[in-house]
């Protein structure tokens, strides 16, 4: 049977405008779950249902197909079931839908693989995600009622210790898998049902209980970054114009060129060096005098016609794997380098082709702290590498 992953990503949001493609730890929010769905390898097709052009563009960048939903199921009052039903009406080949929530960025492929087995091999009609919580519940007392609250799942005279109580299972909304015949009857859950218990650290729902900065820390600690394990970065190669500088060239009356840079970026380069990471610079044009004036004490290659070849030469000379190389670029000439490097980033104002090729998009613009920000991102991921080693 045809198993399709479906991510519902409406353009409207009462809280955060275009939340579904807002950058979370350098990746559009929807990108985290699409990456997990693609790498799971269990879906015959992967779809995003949306009513917005920008969300469609991001979905396609991550390898998903797009179903343009109708205005009738794109309202604030529209339900997930209505949007899924419309999708099935347009795609008769689909037998099972795995509805994955875009706001669950810590979802891992291993979870999706196990759920696919439950519904395809063990014969369940619907499977949904839950998380175990250790929370004591009390009955609600409305204001003005002269009533006492009552315990719902505990005896106050004999409160459980956490380690002595298994807790309770709650839906976390990460995903709902269901067969077509159930959805056509108006159900997302029904028939032979099963739950799938997710690890608490992977159960992150931005819609409900977490704000953006906290979510970024959770994703950096527990998110899924790809099939291959992260490795410690040994080399950062940074494009000069548009990354280290803002790309503008000022010309004086006596024909001398001047550029500006942000001192924060210089600090970022120094911090990388102190962590044992080599920093090398690259440019399409001859900016030797600029580099000399900046006194960065970095290996640099200027007037380059083939940046990828220079990057390969440096990687081979240092005896590094690509996973140990990071690249920060911003132009079309950087695209192949961004694709090749194990860790890639671009400033916020990079060209569209570079943004599409990069794994991390900075909040800062070129020449305005992007190098420092990318350095901080590298440090956070190195902490993840070190944590994995200890485990």
Tokens of 169: 């299972």
CB 333 within 8 A of CB 353: no
Instruction: Determine the 3-state secondary structure of 167 from DSSP.
Output: coil
**229: which DSSP letter?**
P
Between CA 265 and CA 286 the distance in angstroms is 21
CB 352 within 8 A of CB 331: no
What value, to the nearest 5°, has the Cα angle with vertex 362 and ends 358 and 367?
110
**To the nearest 10°, the Cα dihedral for 345, 346, 348, 353?**
-120
Active site residue 159: yes
Q: Read out DSSP for 257-305?
A: EE--B-HHHHHHHHHHHHTT-EEEEE-SS--HHHHHHHT---EEE-S-S
Dihedral sign, CA of 324, 330, 333, 335?
Answer: positive
Between CA 271 and CA 376 the distance in angstroms is 9
Which residue among 133, 159, 248, 275 is the active-site one?
159
What value, to the nearest 5°, has the Cα angle with vertex 269 and ends 263 and 270?
90
Dihedral sign, CA of 215, 218, 224, 229?
Answer: positive
Contacts of 73 (CB under 8 A, 6+ apart): 82, 83, 86
Q: List active site positions.
A: 159
């Amino acid at each position: 049977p045809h198993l399709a992953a479906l991510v519902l990503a409406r353009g409207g949001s009462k809280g955060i405008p275009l939340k579904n493609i807002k950058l979370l730890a350098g990746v559009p929010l929807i990108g985290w779950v699409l990456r997990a769905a693609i790498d799971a390898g269990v879906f015959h097709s992967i779809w995003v249902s949306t009513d917005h052009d920008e969300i469609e563009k991001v979905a396609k960048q991550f390898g998903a197909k797009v179903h343009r939903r109708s205005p009738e199921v794109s309202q604030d009052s529209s339900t997930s079931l209505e949007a899924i039903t419309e999708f099935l009406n347009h795609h008769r080949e689909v037998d099972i839908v795995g509805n994955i929530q875009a706001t669950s960025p810590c979802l891992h492929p291993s979870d999706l693989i196990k759920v696919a087995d439950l519904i395809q091999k063990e014969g369940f009609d619907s499977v949904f995600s839950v998380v175990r919580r250790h929370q004591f519940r009390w009955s609600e007392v409305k204001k003005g009622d002269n009533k006492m609250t009552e315990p719902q799942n505990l005896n106050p005279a004999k409160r459980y210790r956490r380690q002595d109580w298994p807790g309770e299972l709650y839906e976390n909304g990460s995903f709902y898998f269901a067969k077509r015949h159930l959805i056509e009857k108006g159900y997302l859950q029904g028939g032979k049902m099963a739950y799938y218990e997710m690890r608490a650290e992977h159960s992150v729902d931005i819609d409900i209980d977490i704000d953006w900065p906290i979510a970024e820390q959770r994703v950096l600690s527990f998110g899924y970054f790809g099939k291959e394990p992260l490795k410690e970065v040994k080399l950062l190669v940074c494009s000069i114009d548009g990354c280290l500088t803002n790309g503008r060239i000022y010309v004086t009356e006596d024909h001398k060129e001047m550029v500006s840079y942000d001192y924060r970026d210089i600090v970022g380069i120094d911090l990388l060096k102190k962590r044992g990471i080599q920093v090398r610079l690259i440019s399409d044009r001859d900016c030797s005098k600029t580099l000399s004036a900046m006194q960065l004490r970095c290996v640099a290659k200027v007037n380059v016609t083939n940046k990828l070849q220079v990057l390969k030469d440096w990687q081979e000379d240092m005896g590094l794997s690509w996973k140990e190389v990071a690249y920060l670029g911003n132009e079309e000439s950087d695209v192949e380098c961004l694709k090749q490097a194990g860790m890639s980033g671009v400033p916020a104002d990079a060209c569209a082709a570079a943004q599409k090729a990069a794994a991390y998009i900075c909040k800062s613009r070129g020449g305005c702290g992007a190098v420092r920000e990318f350095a901080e991102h590298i440090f956070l991921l190195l902490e993840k590498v070190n944590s994995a080693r200890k485990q």
